[in-house]
Amino acid sequence: MSLQGWGRYRNYDSEVLECLLPQSVGAMVPSRAGLIARGNGRSYGDAAVGELATLICGGLSRMKAFDAGNGILTVEGGTLLSDILRAFIPRGYFPPVVPGTKFVTVGGMIASDVHGKNHHRVGGFGDHVTQFKLVVASGELVTCSRTENPELFYATIGGMGLTGVIVEASFEMKPIETGWILQKTTVAQDLAGALKVLQATDELTYSVAWIDCLAGGKSMGRSLVFTGEHATREQVSARMPQAEFFPAAREPKLGLPFDFPAWMLNGVSVSAFNEMYFRAGARKAGSPSLVHWNPYFFPLDGIHRWNRLYGRRGFLQHQCVVPEGNALAVLGEMLERFVRSGKGSFLAVLKKLGRGGGLISFPTSGYTLALDLPATTDVFPLLEEIDKIVVQAGGRLYLAKDARQSRHTFEAGYPQLSAFRELRRVTGADRRFRSHLSTRLGI
Amino acid sequence: MNRTGKTLLLIGATSDIGRATGLVYAMAGWDVQLAGRNLEAVHREADDIGTRSGASVSVHQLDILNTSRFEDFCDTLPKLPDTVVCVVGQLGEQRRAERELDHATEVLRTNFEGPALLLGLFAERFAKRGFGTIIGISSVAGDRGRGSNYVYGAAKAGLSAFLSGLRNRLASAGVRVLTVKPGFVRTRMTAAMKLPPLLTAEPAQVADAIFSASETKKQREVIYVRGLWWPIMLAIRSIPEPIFKRLRL
């Protein structure tokens, strides 16, 4: 069968297998080679497509237990984050870390060690996982935690499914008083300003910047920095006396039923959007306002199948992280290239990251810049140039977003790669678990 | 979350519709009793529903073909439920049922005999108590026998008639009886079939329809989950037999 990543830039051929019971995974794994687990298919490139076969894990969707005493939730690996939010927000609990979409599985969140707007404070999702059960190459079910099989534990966090299949996981939920976020918008007129605001808001729980990567000259890097805190009941009552403390998720009303024509997203239309968005944000800046948890954390989930926006050719997402030291110069150079190319998108995000969790987790101390680009032929050489800047700066690219980086870029960015490869070899995972991504990058 | 103190008994807990229905009631504050044949699989659903909702969920073994155990099953439940929903069903294979007596027997017993006898026992107990709701999942296939699935259809027709009779008999005894006809539902049972979107419901929609017919909008007692099925089945029922018998349906 033909499978794609969320970016839809390429079709990959892979046999599709479905598992409906956690206990059946152990029997499916040992008879296969070139297999990878797939959750909800939200990684952008080729990470969740097996070289030969792909194990669809959406059927492993049952929750197992919740301990209100310590907030630890245990679920099967294919459980959707959206289900967790729906069940637990009304009871006053929120996941420790959420990525930019709620349509991901817990297994996928561990395998990508996803980060959220609070990474600078609390680390990635993997930092909050207390334990998981992994079906390894032999088919054996192995319990992993910081004390039990720790090597496998740290290799699996951010390990892109290349150590085994996560069939069950436990992690800490955090108590919240309401489902509202008290958001504040700060305007930064250029890149230096944006980095300064992100630095200054380091103490706040959530912070992220939308960056205009088409604005050049003196406005290059102009941004809206959004910070947020979980609102208390008092704050909600004072501002919106009629509001429910725990509002439910509204299902998407907007959808893209077809591919957008490719010409609709171009330099002019995106520039116009960016200008409007920046001005609208600037008008609201200053005074804090209450935002519903769903649009705050998952703005794009409001548009069903938004990945069709880039048309049939699909799109690439480029997300790098560069060390804090010379971030201003490095990010400035990158932005200049994007501006000059006119290829920048309206979905560009700048964020400060804290230290990393797993052996080959993406997050590491520094600043991360992420943007979408249409998968046109002239974008590839541009990204090659950008990658050179990343490598020179000692940075790396996010594997869950990647569909195209070179082996050289990858190897330069992940210093613990040899230890990861060795663990794969020793456990037999190197032959058993292979995705198109791992083959392309020689992991 | 506010608990209501009410209890649902769900028979056929490991089916997609059963699972969704149990969750809707649990999220609305009900306690849930789950019954099914494979106890390990029922436990998995019970943990899921309990974790998602915080409801108290109990697990009970029941084989819908083992009718001799039914009275014992009813009497050993920790509490006589306020509402019982039976979602047990087996589509079977029509061609096989035409040739193999065993298969036809299984389809008839699973879809009619088992559910009818079991719900009949609860009807007795509910009538004696003076209140309760009985909900059976029947099928549009039971509205008129068609060449492509009449063994299954006949069993569902039997169940519809049984429920209709119960409703008629218990109307004055404070017991409500609902017949739910889901139409096509996207489940594991129909995973390989290509289904028309307007006539096809998700398991969660069936569950919502059951809960709302039972608890919130109480006007209807025979429910087509997708409204479009009602005029379609009305049309199919009104085709004169001499014409109907020549149609390929």
Cβ <8 Å between B51 and A20 = no
Out of A65, A90, A91, the one facing B47 most closely (by C-beta) is A65
Alpha carbon distance A58, A377 (integer Å): 34
Q: How many domains does chain B have?
A: 1
Nearest to residue B81, comparing CAs of B4, B167, B16? B4
Is residue A130 within 8 A of residue A153, CB to CB? The reply is: no
Residue in A20, A62, A73 closest to B48 by CB: A62
B141 occurs within a structural domain: yes
Nearest C-alpha of chain B: how many angstroms from A18?
12
Token pair 């073994």 is found at: B61
Question: For chain A, how big is the Rg over CA atoms in Å?
Answer: 21
Which residues are CB-neighbours of B101 under 8 A, at least 6 positions away? none
Any domain includes B200: yes
Question: What is the distance of C-alpha A366 from the center of its chain?
Answer: 16
pLDDT (0 to 100) of residue B76: 95
Is B152 tagged catalytic?
A: yes
Distance of CA A306 to the CA centre of its chain: 16
Contact A328, A96 (CB under 8 A): no
* Chain B residue nearest residue A88, CA to CA: B52
Chain A contact for B75 (CB, 8 A cutoff): no
Q: What are phi and psi of B86, to 5 degrees?
A: -110, 115
B208 touches chain A (CB under 8 A): no
Minimal Cα distance from B47: which residue of A?
A64
> Is B2 inside any structural domain?
no
User: Does residue B199 sit within a domain?
Assistant: yes
Say whether A62 and B188 touch across the interface (CB within 8 A).
Answer: no
Query: Which of A38, A166, A169 has its CA nearest to residue A95?
Result: A169
Which of B45, B47, B52 is opposite residue A87, by nearest beta carbon?
B52
List, for residues B184-238, the tens digit of each pLDDT value.
888 877 777 788 888 888 899 999 999 999 998 777 899 988 888 888 888 888 8
pLDDT at A259: 65
Q: Which residue among A20, A63, A74 sits closest to B52, beta carbon to beta carbon?
A: A63
The percent helix, strand, coil of chain B (3-state, each to 5) is 55, 15, 30
- Give the CATH number, domain containing residue B72: 3.40.50.720
Q: How many CA atoms lie within 13 A of B78 on its CB side?
A: 14
In a domain, B125, yes or no: yes
- Mean pLDDT, 10 residues at a time, chain A of 443 residues: 91 93 94 95 96 96 97 98 96 97 97 97 98 98 98 98 98 98 95 95 94 89 94 95 88 61 66 80 83 91 79 90 95 93 82 95 97 91 97 98 97 97 97 97 96
Q: What is the pLDDT of residue A215?
A: 87
Give helix B16-27 / helix B39-53 axis angle, nearest 10°: 30
Contact A63 B48 (CB under 8 A): yes
Nearest by CB to B51, from A20, A63, A90: name it. A63
Any A CB within 8 A of B47 CB: yes
pTM of the entire predicted model: 0.92
Residues B34-49: tens digit of each pLDDT: 999 999 999 999 999 9
| Nearest alpha-carbon partner for A307 in A48, A6, A4, A89 | A6
Q: Within a domain: residue B1?
A: no
Q: Which amino acid is at A203?
A: E
Would you say residue B51 lies in a domain? yes
Task: Supply A221's token pair.
Answer: 């890097």
* Inter-chain residue contact B51 with A65, CB threshold 8 Å: yes
Q: Starting at the edge strand that comes first in sequence, how are the strands of the sheet with A53-56 ordered?
A: A15-18, A53-56, A35-38
pLDDT in the model for residue A182? 96
Cβ contacts from A onto B, under 8 A: 26
CA distance A153 to A145: 6
Q: Could you tell me the residue range of the domain that residue B101 belongs to?
A: 7-244
Interval B138-157: pLDDT, tens? 999 999 999 999 999 999 99
- Distance, CA of B30 to CA of A130 (rounded, Å): 31
Residues A91, B54: C-beta atoms closer than 8 Å: yes
Residues of A with Cβ-Cβ distance to B53 under 8 angstroms = 87
Whether B52 sits inside 8 A of A64 (CB atoms) is no
Evaluate whether residue B35 is within a structural domain: yes
B199, amino acid identity: L
Spot the catalytic one: B25, B150, B152, B224: B152
- Which tokens go with A63? 């929750």
Residue A336's pLDDT is 93
Q: What is the pLDDT of residue A264?
A: 63
Neighbours of A115 (CB within 10 A): 29
B38 touches chain A (CB under 8 A): no
Q: What is the edge-to-edge ordering of all strands in the sheet holding A289-292? A: A289-292, A180-188, A223-230, A206-211, A349-353, A366-374, A315-322, A396-397
pLDDT at A263: 61
Interface check for B45 against chain A (CB to CB < 8 A): the answer is: yes
Q: Which one-letter DSSP state was computed for residue B196?
A: -
pLDDT at residue A76 in the model? 98
